[in-house]
């Protein structure tokens, strides 16, 4: 006869670990980046401690003298524009509220075409 003591202990351990993990708060987040050469735009939707938070950024990593632009569209219907023109390299903003979660965004360099839209889920 085989002992069932080991099996019962394993089942008990798995049950306790599942109960512990299910008690932890969810940290949902979604993010994406778009590159145009070395230039990059990015967005992240998260929900730390139950609060909706979005961070948007744009960085001009090329030393070619061309400005870089990004358009961010929120789930609430707003458009937010970022540019590196006056900031010498990077721009970044933090937005709060479910309506400010980023739905999509795109990037372009001065004189160039807009990139395809990157689509994000809500956190």
Q: State the Cα–Cα distance between residues 47 and 101, nearest whole angstrom.
A: 10
Lowest mean pLDDT among 21-25, 35-39, 101-105: 21-25
Domain boundaries, the chain: 29-119
How confident is the prediction for the chain on average, in pLDDT? 82
Stretch (H or E) spanning 119: strand 118-119
Q: State the Cα–Cα distance between residues 56 and 40, nearest whole angstrom.
A: 11
Using only C-alpha atoms, the chain has a radius of gyration, in whole angstroms, of 22
Domain covering 29-119 in this structure, CATH number: 2.60.40
Mean per-residue pLDDT for 97-111? 96
């Amino acid at each position: 006869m085989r002992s069932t003591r080991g099996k019962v202990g394993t089942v008990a351990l798995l049950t306790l670990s599942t109960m512990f993990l299910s008690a932890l708060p969810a940290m949902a987040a979604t993010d994406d980046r778009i590159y145009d050469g070395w230039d990059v735009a990015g967005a992240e939707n998260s929900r730390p401690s139950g609060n909706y938070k979005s961070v948007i950024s744009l960085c001009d990593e090329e030393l070619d003298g061309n400005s870089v632009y990004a358009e961010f569209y929120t789930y609430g219907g707003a458009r937010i524009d970022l540019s590196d023109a006056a900031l010498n390299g990077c721009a970044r903003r933090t937005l709060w509220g479910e309506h400010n979660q980023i739905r999509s965004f795109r990037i372009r360099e001065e004189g160039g075409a807009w990139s395809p839209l990157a689509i994000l889920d809500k956190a």
